[in-house]
């Protein structure tokens, strides 16, 4: 009986070990399936970019200094519009300053609102001028003050984006400047022939004489004249026999041929007139044998 129990116990141990091994193998198989990436996934997983939580409304909110003082967190990172009297701030005397650089502010209802931005223009604004400005209400949290390790503190300020009123903006030198500029540090290039008075560009046109070329035509006369004069004297002497004196008869037939042709080239000036050609005087040709018969008047040939 004891041997049977011992054999039964040994068989239970064997089956228990087999069961434990199979259980461990199954657990490891599940873990490997969870760790191994899917076969259909070609690229590793990448995080998707999402929009930030900072949303700024484009429409400004009309806010008073009392409202900002009572609940400043209600207008945090929102676009607001406030009105107050301009006042410059004393800059810190230390070289190493931690925190936003604030150089001017607005005062109203015995409250002061610090402003950041437009520092080059703020230096020229007279103290006490009432300004209406727009900007974003900000909160700085961190080291604030002079030194390497100043204490952490909070600083509320308005990050200005536009000066609404007055427009134009009066300056300390008596000039006026347009306050609706987008970038306060932008400089305007002055071209030759332009002047700027009080910030408004006024173009002054400069008269520029326009040269007009006048073409003067010079006529070039090219006379092509062909003058041909031909004189053909044809003397014919016919003696008449008989008593008395016989005079030779000379018949001259001059045939002058003149063909003037002038072709002027040009657009100005009178047309050329060919000079007249004098007619050729014919020359009589007396046949040989003498002129009058010798022997005096009244005689005849023998």
Task: Give 1-47 pLDDT, tens digit per residue.
Answer: 566 666 667 777 788 888 888 898 888 888 877 765 555 555 666 77
262 within 8 A of 272, measured Cβ to Cβ: yes
pLDDT in tens, 106-118: 999 999 999 999 9
Assign residue 266 a region (left: φ > 0; alpha: ψ between -120 and 50; beta: otherwise). left
The burial class, CB within 10 Å (0-12 / 13-18 / 19+), for 36 is exposed
Is the distance from CB of 221 to CB of 266 less than 8 angstroms? yes
Choose between 19 and 266: higher pLDDT.
Answer: 19
Q: What is the architecture of the domain spanning 61-179? A: Beta Barrel (2.40)
Nearest alpha carbon to residue 275 among 254, 260, 265: 260
Please report, for the chain, the start and end positions of each structural domain, with discontinuous segments joined by +.
61-179
Which tokens in the block code for residue 239? 């003696």
**Rounded to an integer, what distance in angstroms lies between the CA atom of residue 169 and that of residue 125?**
8
pTM tops 0.75, yes or no? no
CA 13 to chain centre: 94
């Amino acid at each position: 009986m004891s041997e049977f129990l011992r054999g039964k116990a040994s068989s239970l141990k064997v089956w228990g070990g087999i069961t434990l091994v199979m259980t461990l193998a199954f657990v490891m198989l599940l873990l490997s399936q969870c760790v191994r990436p899917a076969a259909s996934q070609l690229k590793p997983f990448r995080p998707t970019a999402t929009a930030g939580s900072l949303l700024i409304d484009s429409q400004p909110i009309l806010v008073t200094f009392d409202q900002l003082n009572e609940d400043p967190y209600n207008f945090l990172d929102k676009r607001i519009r406030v009105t107050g009297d301009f006042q410059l701030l004393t800059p810190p005397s230390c070289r190493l300053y931690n925190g936003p650089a604030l150089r001017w502010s607005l005062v109203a209802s015995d409250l002061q609102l610090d402003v950041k931005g437009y520092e080059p223009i703020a230096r020229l604004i007279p103290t006490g001028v009432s300004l209406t400005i727009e900007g974003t209400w900000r909160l700085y949290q961190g080291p604030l003050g002079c030194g390497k390790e100043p204490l952490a503190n909070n600083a509320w300020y308005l990050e200005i984006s536009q000066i609404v009123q007055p427009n134009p903006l009066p300056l300390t030198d008596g000039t006026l400047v347009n306050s609706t500029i987008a970038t306060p540090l932008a400089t305007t290039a002055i071209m030759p022939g332009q002047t700027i008075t009080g910030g408004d560009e006024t173009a002054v046109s400069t008269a520029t004489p326009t040269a007009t070329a006048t073409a003067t035509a010079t006529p070039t006369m090219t006379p092509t004249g062909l003058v041909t004069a031909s004189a053909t004297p044809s003397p014919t002497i016919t003696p008449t026999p008989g008593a008395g004196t016989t005079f030779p008869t000379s018949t001259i037939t001059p045939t002058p041929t003149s063909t003037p042709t002038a072709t002027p080239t040009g657009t100005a000036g009178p047309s050329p007139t060919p000079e007249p050609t004098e007619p050729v005087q014919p020359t009589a040709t007396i046949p040989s044998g003498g002129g009058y018969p010798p022997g005096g008047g009244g005689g005849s040939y023998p």
